[in-house]
Amino acid sequence: MKRKILLILAVIFAFNYTTFSAVTQKTQGNLEQSTVNTDTDYLRGTSWQLTSIKESKFRTAITDGVSKIKINFTEDGFNGTSGVNNFFGTYALSQNGGILMSDAGITEMAGSRKMMKLESKFMKILQNVEKVRYNKNTLVLETEKGETLTFKNVTYNNSNNSSKGNIEKAISSTQWKVTNISGKKVNLKGKGITVNFDGGRISGNSGVNSYSGNYEIKNNNIRIVSELMLTAMLGPNDAMAIEEEFINILKDVKYTRLVDNNTMILSTETGATITMKKVK
């Protein structure tokens, strides 16, 4: 019986790669309205606990026992526990805005019939995922058929995660360049969008104009505490639109996460994000 179970698992989990087209929320509320998201930094260093499995749009979601299933995203890989076994693999951003999953593997332990069945459902959906929607609290992986895996965020926030270091120390007298805004890559000519932190003062280039204001750090999170002042230059329509989105998100920032020493993500209550890379 055990050999038969392992044989079934080997068939289910033997896949070389799966392309995930990343999608993130664009509006307030739920995750229904989405755009392609190319920001793998947002997932890097996060952990998620499964809350439900839905095998089709028309079937009731499975919730019993799913809390034992978790997935973690590292710099270029993913791993987790699928209920009985541990799974792992690598992922990379593809040119079309998806994520290429490869080198997948899983251990070969046997468990209770109930958990083995649940694990089988989970892995079958995982290998066929094509979309991922997320905000700061929820991650949804979805297949073309409408099968979904829904997770809640169990990543420690900065106020409880001393391993990520102190935000104030990390940003003191530093300059950052914005690489992604709510899942969209930022490729502006010239200086691009920059953020400078200096003793409670925030400033930089917002794409077309220069901006400045004041910030504070509360519970290890950056908050803008004054109006952001901008110069009054005009530029190309696309650059002006990106600038407006950046400023609107920046003034509402509530959460800060250091992905590593050179990558930081600012996010709002509704899940809009600004991803930045340290310049100096």
Please write the tens of the pLDDT for every residue from 20-63.
333 333 333 344 433 344 456 677 778 899 999 999 877 888 99
CA distances from 273 to 39, 174, 180, 276 (A): 10, 20, 8, 10
Distance CA 243, CA 249 (A): 10
Please write the tens of the pLDDT for every residue from 134-174.
777 888 888 888 899 999 988 754 444 443 458 888 899 99
Give ∠ CA 79-84-86 in degrees, rounded to 5. Answer: 20
pTM score: 0.60
Residue 270 has pLDDT above 70, yes or no: yes
- Structural domains in the chain, sorted by start: 16-155 (2.40.128.270), 162-278 (2.40.128.270)
Non-local (6+) Cβ contacts of 219 within 8 A are 158, 159
**pLDDT score of 27:** 31
Sorting pLDDT into bands at 50, 70 and 90, what band is 225? very high
- Six-digit token pair at 275? 């991803």
